[in-house]
Amino acid sequence: MTEDREADLAKFDKEEAPKKAREWAEPVVFWAGVGISLFHLYFNTIGTIEDLWTSALHFGLFGFLCTLLYPMVRTRAGSAAGRAVAVVDVVFGLLILWTAVHLILNEVALYDRGIRLLPLDWVAAIVAILLGIEFTRRTTGWIIPVLIVTSLTYVVWWGKYVTGVFQFPGLTFETALFRTYFSGDGMFGEIARISSTYVFMFILFGAFLTRSGAGDFIMNLARCAAGKMTGGPGLVAVMGSALMGTISGSAVANVVGTGVITIPLMKRAGFPPHFAASVESSASTGGQIMPPIMGAGAFVMASYTQIPYVHIIAVSVLPAMMYFLSVGYWVRMEAIRLGIYGKEDPEAPTFRQAMRDGGHNLIPIVLLIGLLVVGFTPTYAAGISILAVIATSWLSKKRMGPRAICEALAKGARNMVPTAVLLVTIGLVVNVLGTTGVGNTFSLMISRWSGDSLLITILWVSLASIILGMGLPTTAAYIVLGTLSAPALYNLITHSEAVSLIASGQVVDTVKAVLMLVAPDQAGMLGKPMPVEAVKAMLALVPPDMATSVIEQTVSAANQTQALLSAHMIIFWLAQFSNLTPPVCLAVYAACAIADSPPWKTGVTAFQVGMAFFIIPLLFAYTPFLSSDLALSFKIFFFGIGGMYCVVAAIRGYMETRIGRPMRLAMLFLGVVLLWPLGSVWEFVALGAVLVLLAFNIRQSRRDAAGRAGDQVPSSA
């Protein structure tokens, strides 16, 4: 390890100090983490335990770890106040374990007496809710606790005083406690089950890969592939983060794993610190959209939509590649602007050396993908792949013995703490939204505000994602936005599809009968090509209770599934900006700690570099980019990467050399044409125009280079 990297690691460790356990608690955290991981491995593979019990134990165990890793308040080590806080935290940890055990021991008795809570049940439920709120405050800040308190008080108190569509008669306190803690709808509902199964197993898989040396192998591969290109260190960051995303699914983990290498490399090459940090944070955020591990939100999406996880990761490959290419465009154009061209990296290994030292790390990843494809559940696939990591490590110098295995188990549990606490407690909000119907009401309001315009709806969701991203982490932002906005997006996408089909003359008899009833004067046009506006006017006359049936019978089941996936994927991508949006942008803060750059300036730059998080969701809405038709998806991808290049060039003002304002406007127009689904003829025309302009720009860059070389040659006497 170089001195620079040691210094950067030391600086980051200093910034992350509050997340480390107290010195006396380190052995407890380590061995508790080992035990927790083994317990989760057991019930996710060979054991059978009731879902409610596993979710309760999942929360209790990780809540206990949270009290040791995240103190209630920061105090000076060894002080009297520090010792007092430590005692309180230990008490909290034991209390949260007791609440889980109490639920397990008393669930049957509770149902036997007719769901009537005894005093000790009241205490257990209230303690669990309050500690859940407190643990969320410690790990994610104040926004989610405020959201939880607002939701719970709405359902039992002030909802009855609200006028209009959001008025709710309210639940009794006892009923609210039962639904929140003792049933499978609140804290220990579907999201908690996802946390204890899929999410934990993949985070543990990533911890084993990292412990076996996969991170170093990935960085070596990236340096081999991109180190000598223009802006090479920046491209190494992009490629390294893309590859790291396949094993971690966490933006901050990607920053820490790759940034300690790439950010110093970029700074030494000549990139400004804020740009180096913004590239690393933007690329690392892309790790959460890079298959096969796409963060906790992807597992929640699979549960919400009932679309297999393997299908979600399959259709996500091309969009993720488009995103990373767009970040690479920013790096190359900034490198050209600064005159940072390819240089030999004396520390970079050759491709043969990289594969010889770490090629075995690919085996577990390929095995994981193969197991998912052939039909294994994600938990079994992750469990088998963990064993493969241990076995393949013996093909290298970093063989995983008992100590290394225990370290990986402990690291996986430690990494899971914030996610486990978040996913369990956010279930409180989701339960309230479902119980009160606020989610459906809000979805209808979004449609009304947007005038049933899909584009305006996406802009509303984008604005909401920016606002929520200032206070919520990615998964929480996706869950909240998905609950509130996904139905509106789905309805608008399927409505648009139905309008297109009817306008083209494709209409089934049952739908034709309904439309003949509501618009008999236009019935003769049905079954023939007709104006889109006429179809919209006709569908607007259909009663709301019949409109859903008309759309379902017009749009095929496969297209409805694609529309549902597109709606959730739009929200999932937009929610990623919670890692890049100032003032709360965890990935940017982590990168700033390494780069020593100002957070606000870095966040604004990262927002620009990661702009594809807003553009690519438009493709999900208006094109079949997420369909199972590979030929169609590749076509959209091919023209899309050209369009992204044009848009980045127009914003940055560079291609292979500087471009003027007329050229920037032309590139912006061509980029929109390539990204917007206008038809193959116009797309090919636009692509040809881009190639012509690029050729002229390359020629201009050569003339500029020749001029600079001539200026440097000394004149003869």
In the chain, the amino acid numbered 15 is E
Report pLDDT for 5.
Answer: 41
Q: CA 311, 317, 318 angle in degrees (round to 5)? A: 120
pLDDT at 471: 63
Task: Check residue 134 and give its pLDDT.
Answer: 95
Instruction: Flag whether pLDDT at 17 surpasses 60.
Output: no
- Please state at what angle helix 26-45 crosses helix 51-69, rounded to 10 degrees: 160
Contact 227, 261 (CB under 8 A): no
Structure tokens at 302: 């699979």
Whole-angstrom distance, CA of residue 258 vs CA of residue 586 = 15
d(CA 570, CA 563): 10
Which residues, in sequence order, are bridge partners of residue 658? 654
Q: How many residues does the chain have?
A: 717
pLDDT at 246 over 80: no
pLDDT computed for residue 421 by the predictor: 93
Nearest Cα to Cα of residue 149 among 136, 133, 163, 162: 133
Measured distance CA(379)–CA(48) in Å, rounded: 13
Range among 460-464, 500-504, 614-618 rated most confident:
614-618
Percent of the chain with pLDDT over 70: 91
Residue 324 has pLDDT above 90, yes or no: yes
CB 615 within 8 A of CB 675: yes
pLDDT for 272: 92
Residue 191: partners with Cβ closer than 8 Å, 6 or more residues away: 300, 303, 423, 424, 426, 427, 430, 479
Per the DSSP assignment, residues forming a β-bridge with 654 are 658
Question: Is residue 361 scored above 90 in pLDDT?
Answer: no
Token couple for 76: 């000076």
Through-space distance between the first and last CA atoms of the chain, rounded to whole angstroms: 51
Mean pLDDT, the chain, rounded, equals: 84
Q: 707 or 499: which carries more pLDDT confidence? A: 499
**Per-residue pLDDT at 620:** 93
Residue 399 CA, chain-centre distance (Å), reads 32
Angular region, 451: left φ>0, alpha ψ -120 to 50, beta rest: left
pLDDT tens-digit profile of 580-617?
777 667 788 888 888 888 888 888 898 889 989 989 99
Q: How confident is the model at residue 249 (pLDDT cuts 50, 70, 90)?
A: low
CB atoms within 10 A of CB 390: 18
- Reported confidence tier of residue 13, pLDDT bands at 50, 70, 90: very low
pLDDT tens column, 30-86: 999 999 999 999 999 887 888 889 999 999 999 999 999 999 888 776 678 888 888
pLDDT (tens digit, 9 = 90+) per residue, 134-145? 999 998 888 889
- pLDDT for 112 beyond 90: no
Indicate the helix (H) or strand (E) that contains 428: helix 402-436
Q: Distance between CA 294 and CA 245 in Å, rounded?
A: 7
* pLDDT bracket for residue 708 (50, 70, 90): low
Q: Which stretches of 70-199 are DSSP H helices?
A: 80-112, 119-140, 143-156, 173-177, 190-194
What's the pLDDT score for residue 355?
84
- Please give the pLDDT value at position 10: 42
621-625 contacts at long range (C-beta below 8 A, 24 or more positions apart)? 621/454, 621/455, 621/458, 621/489, 621/493, 621/566, 621/570, 622/454, 622/676, 622/677, 623/677, 624/562, 625/315, 625/318, 625/319
Q: Is the peptide bond before 292 cis (omega within 30 degrees of 0)?
A: yes
Q: What is the pLDDT of residue 111?
A: 82
Tokens of 699: 């020629």
On the question of pLDDT at 266 being above 80, the answer is yes
Structure confidence by residue, pLDDT tens digits, 502-512? 888 887 777 77
Distance, in Å, from the CA atom of 80 to the CA atom of 58, rounded to the nearest integer, reads 32
Residue 123's pLDDT is what?
94
Would the pLDDT of 190 be above 90? no
| Exposed/middle/buried for residue 374 (C-beta within 10 Å: 0-12, 13-18, 19+) | exposed
What is the dihedral sign for C-alpha 239, 241, 244, 249? negative
Report helix, strand or coil for 653: coil
Q: What are the Cα distances from residue 211, in Å, to 11, 175, 385, 410?
A: 22, 46, 14, 11
**What is residue 706's predicted lDDT score, i.e. its pLDDT?**
76
Provide the pLDDT for residue 219. Answer: 76
Q: Which residue has the higher pLDDT, 32 or 440?
A: 32
> Residue written as tokens 């000394």?
714
Write the DSSP symbol of residue 437.
T
pLDDT(522) > 90: no
Give the pLDDT band of residue 483 (cuts 50, 70, 90): confident
Over range 692-710, report the average pLDDT.
83
User: Structure tokens of 568?
Assistant: 């959730």
Alpha-carbon distance of 391 to 385, in angstroms, equals 10
Q: Identify whether the C-beta of residue 361 lies closer than 8 Å to the C-beta of residue 216.
A: no
Each residue's pLDDT tens digit, 524-578:
777 788 888 888 888 888 887 787 788 888 888 888 999 999 999 999 998 887 6
Query: Worst-scoring range by mean pLDDT, 67-81, 382-396, 414-428?
Result: 67-81
Q: What is the pLDDT of residues 633-648, one digit of tens each?
A: 999 999 999 999 999 9
Work out the pLDDT band at 714, boundaries 50, 70, 90: low
Pick from 418, 377, 423, 37: which is nearest to 195 by CA?
A: 423
For the record, the structure tokens of 432 come out as: 């309230």
Percent of the chain past pLDDT 90, that is, above it, reads 34
| Higher-pLDDT residue of 158, 241 | 158
Asked if residue 494 lies in contact with residue 560, where contact means CB atoms within 8 angstroms, the answer is yes
Token reading at 181: 């803690």
- What Rg do the C-alpha atoms of the chain give, in angstroms? 27
Q: What is the DSSP string of 3-48?
A: HHHHHHHHHHHHHTGGGSPPGGGHHHHHHHHHHHHHHHHHHHHT--
Pick from 433, 472, 483: nearest CA to 300: 483
Q: Which of 687, 646, 686 is nearest to 665 (CA)?
A: 646
Q: Which two tokens stand for residue 45?
A: 């593979």
Q: What is the DSSP string of 580-624?
A: TSTTS-HHHHHHHHHHT--HHHHHHHHHHHTTHHHHHHHHHHHS-
Q: Could you tell me the pLDDT band of residue 673, with boundaries at 50, 70 and 90?
A: very high
Q: Which residue has the tokens 């490590």?
A: 393
